Amino acid sequence: MFKKKIALFNQSVKNKEEALALLANEFIKAGVVEDNFLEGILQREEAFPTGLELNKMGVAIPHTDSEYVKENQLGFMTLDKPVIFKFMGDASQDIEVSIIFMLALKEAESQIEMLSKLMDLFMFDEVMEALKTVDNYDGFDEIINKSGLLD
């Protein structure tokens, strides 16, 4: 799911829209999504927020419909300072997000399966702490592979 190695570390952004644009543009540059992928991400995030509050940090898992996707890909981003996302279960609640996993998946079943795997990953505080502080792709890849959860 990380074959194009889309990962950005310790990024400085003003808000979630800037963060999503930065990450979505990496997907576009890699050729795995349509040019209007960001538009789809923003529309879906507005209708169905993806912010989650974990024990020690906020995470977002933005994704959109398969019509915007050419090939399956997962993207990762850490932020130097959290930005506000809306809570997945209640859009009236704000979540300070420091880690973003962006999904580009062609099949609905793949989306459900990947969301489930990510939820499993989020349960491991030590893995999430390591992901929050990693600053290069090799380190990121090692953490993900060692967890065994996103095979």
Residue 150 reports pLDDT greater than 70: no
Give a yes or no: residue 83 inside a domain: yes
Count of beta carbons in the 10 Å neighbourhood of residue 58: 21
- What lies within 8 Å, CB to CB, of 123 at 6+ separation is none
Instruction: Work out the burial of residue 101: count CB atoms within 10 Å of its CB; fewer than 13 is exposed, 13-18 middle, 19 or more buried.
Output: buried
Residue 130 reports pLDDT greater than 80: yes
Q: Higher-confidence residue: 149 or 104? A: 104
DSSP calls for 60-115: E-----GGGBSS-EEEEEEEEEEEEEEBSS-TTSEEEEEEEEEEE-SSHHHHHHHH
Q: Percent of the chain at pLDDT above 90?
A: 69
Q: In the prediction, which pLDDT does 56 show?
A: 78
Q: Are the CB atoms for 30 and 5 separated by under 8 Å?
A: no
Parent domain of 29:
6-147
Q: Domain count of the chain? A: 1
Q: In the prediction, which pLDDT does 147 show?
A: 82
Residue 2 reports pLDDT greater than 70: no
Give a yes or no: residue 22 inside a domain: yes
Give a yes or no: residue 1 inside a domain: no
